Structure 1
C-alpha cells in the first residue's frame, strides 16, 4: 500500500465522523469501539496522554464500526501506517521460508516479529 498523505488529523476525522453518523457523542463512539470515553476525548482534544498514539485495535475498530471511513484513512489521520494485507500466497511463501530456518533462527524471527507487531500495535 502506498503511504497516504496526511491531510487531516484524528480530531478532524472524528469531527467529520460525528457529522456523518448523526452527531454522535464521544461516549457513543467509545462504546462502539470498546475504549473509555476519556480515550476518545483525548483524541478529540489532541491530548497524547502517555505519549502514545491510538492503539491499532482501536483504529481498526473505528473502521469496522464506521465503514464510511476506511482503515487507511483512519490510520493516516492518526499518523500511523495501517497493517498490510496478507494474501494466501504471501502467507504460504512466508511459511515455506520459515520452515527453511534452523530452530534458533525461527526463535529469533519470532522475537523480531513479535517486537515489530507490538511496535505497530502501540504506535511507538
Structure 2
C-alpha cells in the first residue's frame, strides 16, 4: 500500500514541477518521451480512468526532475511505487524461472501480465 497519504493529484504535482523547474508541458513531454498532449491531458485531468499515466513514464518524471521523488509522483498518480529490481534480484528471479516447466512459465507470465495491468490502471 501507499504509505504516503495522497495530498495532491498528478495535475497539482505537475503544476509544482513546472514552477520548480520553470518548464512547459512540452518540455516535460520531451524529457520523458511522451506527446505534449499526454502531459496536457494529465494537467487538465482528462486522462486517467482506466489507463492513467504509465509507471515507466512516472519513473521517467522522477529521473528527469529529481526534486520530485518516485514515491511522491506515484502517490500523486494514486499508485503504489513499483519495487526496485537489483541485479541480484534479477539473477535470483531468472534462476527460479529456469526451474519452471514450460506450462508453469506460461502460467506465471499470465499472472505477471495481470499484475502489471492492475498496476498500470490503478485497479
Is 2:24 the partner of 1:7? Answer: no
- TM-score (norm. length: structure 2): 0.82
Q: Which runs of 5+ in 1 are unaligned?
A: none
User: Residue 120 of structure 1: CA displacement?
Assistant: 2.4
1:63-86 Cα shifts (integer Å, max 9, x gaps): 111011111110110101111012
User: Residue 56 of structure 1: CA displacement?
Assistant: 1.4
Aligned to 2:100: 101
Is 2:85 the partner of 1:55? Answer: no
Report the RMSD for the aligned CA atoms in angstroms: 2.3
User: Residue 88 of structure 1: CA displacement?
Assistant: 4.1
Is 2:70 the partner of 1:71? Answer: yes
SS of structure 1 residue aligned to 2:46: coil
SS of structure 1 residue aligned to 2:74: helix
- TM-score (norm. length: structure 1): 0.81
User: Residue 96 of structure 1: CA displacement?
Assistant: 4.0
User: Residue 2 of structure 1: CA displacement?
Assistant: 5.6
Aligned to 2:45: 46
User: Residue 109 of structure 1: CA displacement?
Assistant: 0.7
CA distance in 2, matches of 1:53, 1:66: 20
Q: Which runs of 4+ in 1 moved over 4 A?
A: none
Q: Which runs of 5+ in 2 are unaligned?
A: none
Name the CA shift for 1:70/1:108 in 2 (closer, same or farther; >3 Å). same
Name the CA shift for 1:3/1:26 in 2 (closer, same or farther; >3 Å). same
Give the aligned length: 123
The answer to whether the 8 A contact 2:52-2:120 is kept is no
